[in-house]
Amino acid sequence: MSAQLLDGKALSKTIRDEMKAQFAALADSSGVTPTLAVLRVGDDASVAGYARAIERTCAGAGVAFAARVLAQEASQEAVEAEIAQLNRDPQVHGIMILEPLPDQINGHRLIDHLNPAKDVDGVHPLNAGRLSAQKKPYFVPATPAGAIRLLEEAGVEFKGKHAVIIGRSDIVGKPMALLLLHRHCTVTIAHSRTLDLPGVARSADILCVAIGRAEMVRGDWIKPGAVVVDFGTTYTDDGLKGDCAQDEVAAVAGMMTPVPGGTGPVTNGMLMSNLFDAYRAAIG
């Protein structure tokens, strides 16, 4: 068996083109420029690189990009004041807070200060709670939202399937579990302390891995024909690696998302989709 690889690059282009047309139509009719503000604190190279990638995505979708960069030594109060200003600014429709943050900054407190209506990352507790309860409106974190879009485009059947999520983060594992539960999967959330983790993984019809350990999941962890979603992005001496040993897993799985080229490219497209919803709601 050789798994069908789900092409995130192609889907990303489709989403980008969709969003560009929708933004342009609404901007023409309203006269309001859609704007995403991205806040980062300090000079972490990976954060700066991610900000540049978001800026390119915004340019491709016809969205204004507003960078807010605070010094490495900025205080909690200064960062919260910047968020408050962005919350009040009617010309800003979405806000992202990039991580990692300096040690003196409490990221959870920053998130609590976000206006939920501008929280296009879907990290505010109100959005997380509404997602859990399926009470719209809410924003879904872009990475799991993109994975669901990839699976739907591939024709994956969800109803009644056993989905296993390895990883329990607030921005990938937990929302992915909820999205699958809402699609009538039976969901198990596993993690690094789960007993017999390979055995739990082998029970999955849909296996989603977001644990941050390069090539941790091996081919003998996979049920033959399973759908495997690899969220991992670990940079190694051999390049970017996912959480799955790709060649081994592809030999057993029915479908899988490759790394690179799977869930990663779709993430920023789904971010633009969230921004469009925030923009449309803001301008009425």
Residues 104-119: pLDDT tens digits? 999 999 999 999 999 9
Q: pLDDT confidence of 66, banded at 50, 70, 90?
A: very high
**Helix, strand, or coil (residue 38):** strand
Whole-angstrom CA distances from 98 to 67, 70, 127, 278 are 11, 12, 18, 19
218 token code pair: 């091996």
Strands 94-97 and 186-190: unpaired
Residue partners of 204: CB distance under 8 A and separation at least 6: 162, 163, 164, 188, 223, 226
What region, left, alpha or beta, does residue 160 occupy, with left being phi > 0 and alpha being psi -120 to 50 degrees?
left
Collapsing DSSP to helix, strand or coil, 41 comes out as: strand
One fold for both 31-117 and 142-263?
Answer: yes
The letter for the amino acid at 247 is D
Give phi and psi for 232, each to the nearest 5.
Answer: -70, 145
Predicted confidence (pLDDT) per residue in 235-268, tens digit: 899 899 999 999 999 999 999 999 999 999 999 9
pLDDT tens per residue across span 108-165: 999 999 999 999 999 999 999 999 999 999 999 999 999 999 999 999 999 999 999 9
pTM across the whole model: 0.94
**What is 31-117's CATH superfamily?**
Leucine Dehydrogenase, chain A, domain 1 (3.40.50.10860)
Mean pLDDT over all residues of the chain? 96
The dihedral region occupied by 6, where left means phi > 0, alpha psi between -120 and 50, and beta the remainder, is: beta
> Per-residue confidence at 284, pLDDT binned at 50, 70, 90?
confident
The predicted pLDDT at position 216 comes to 97
Angstrom distance (rounded) from CA 22 to CA 16: 10
Structure confidence at residue 46 (pLDDT): 87
Taking only the tens place, the pLDDT of each residue in 18-58 is 999 999 999 999 999 999 999 999 988 989 999 999 999 99
Average pLDDT rounded to a whole number, residues 87-94: 98
User: What is the CB neighbour count within 10 angstroms for residue 44?
Assistant: 17
Cα separation of 139 and 278, whole Å? 9
DSSP states along 178-198: HHHHHTT-EEEEE-TT-TTHH
Element (H, E) at 136: none
pLDDT score recorded for residue 223 = 98
Give the span between the Cα atoms of 47 and 33, in whole angstroms.
25
Q: Where are the domains of the chain?
A: 31-117, 142-263
Under 8 Å between Cβ of 59 and 36: no
Structural domain 142-263, CATH architecture: 3-Layer(aba) Sandwich (3.40)
Q: Is the pLDDT reported for residue 1 higher than 80?
A: no
